[in-house]
Structure 1
Amino acid sequence: MKEQIVCQTSDIEPGHMMKTTFGKQTILVCRTPDGEFYAFLNQCIHQGAPLDKGMMCGATTAHSKPGDYDYCHHGEIIRCPWHGREFDIKNDGRMLASPDKKIPSFNVRIEDESIIVYK
């Protein structure tokens, strides 16, 4: 199993993300507002956009009345900077519009203050 320290917990505030490397791959480490860490390949599966140039945001859900929406999952969605594809951070990087597709993810663990990514 390959593993590597990619950054420190203090490098990423809750609700933010950071580009770093894991071996020869560029990855994106995300910290959701609840303080959990996740890591993904820093490349959109659509046309290869660098996801670190996008944003962490939320999503909307519809209610029973037309035009009535709730904003939810704040800071748990990665939005691609090129075409707006959205990926659920907490659901293994699955695309919201097509959940059978996802960005490649990596395992993450924290030791002391180090963020360790492993495959």
Structure 2
Amino acid sequence: MKEQVVCKTTEIEPGEMKAAHFGKQNVLVCRTLDGEFYAFLNQCTHQGAPLDKGMICGATTNESKPGDYRYCRKGEIIRCPWHGREFDIKDEGRMLANPNKKLPSYKVRVEDQNVIVYK
């Protein structure tokens, strides 16, 4: 099993993300508001945008109306910086608009303040 320390837990606050390297792969390490860590390929499935240049946000609810946006799932959605594609961090990086597509993901564990990515 290939594994690598990609950062320290103190480098990413809850609700933030950080680009890192896992071998030759550019990965995106995300920390949700509940403190859990996730890792994905740092590249949008649409046209390859670097997702670390985007943002972690929430999703709009069905109650939203034009000009009046209501959000849920704050800190659980990655938004692509180029075209706004949104991916669910907690659901294996599935695209919100098309759940059949998802970001390539990696397994993550934390040991002694080290965030370790592995296959």
Q: TM class, shorter-chain normalised?
A: over 0.9
**Cα shift at 1:69:** 5.8
Letter of the aligned partner of 1:22 in structure 2? F
Alignment TM-score, normalising by the size of structure 1: 0.95
Aligned: 1:40 with 2:44:
no
Letter of the aligned partner of 2:8 in structure 1? Q
Give the aligned length.
117
Find the counterpart in structure 1 of residue 108 from structure 2.
108
Aligned: 1:28 with 2:28:
yes
CA–CA distance in structure 1, aligned partners of residues 106 and 97 of structure 2: 22
**Cα shift at 1:60:** 1.1
Segments of structure 1 that go 5 or more residues without pairing to the other structure are: none
CA–CA distance in structure 2, aligned partners of residues 57 and 13 of structure 1: 14
Q: Deviations over 1:43-99 (max 9, x none)?
A: 000000000000000001113xx8376310101000000000000000000000000
CA–CA distance in structure 1, aligned partners of residues 72 and 106 of structure 2: 25
| Contact kept in structure 2, 1:62 and 1:69, CA below 8 Å | no
Letter of the aligned partner of 1:91 in structure 2? D
Runs (4 or more) in structure 1 with deviation over 6 Å come to none
1:1-119 equivalent positions in 2, closer than 5 A: 1-63=1-63, 67=65, 70-119=70-119
Alignment TM-score, normalising by the size of structure 2: 0.95
CA–CA distance in structure 1, aligned partners of residues 27 and 87 of structure 2: 15
Q: Deviations over 1:88-116 (max 9, x none)?
A: 00000000000000010000000110000
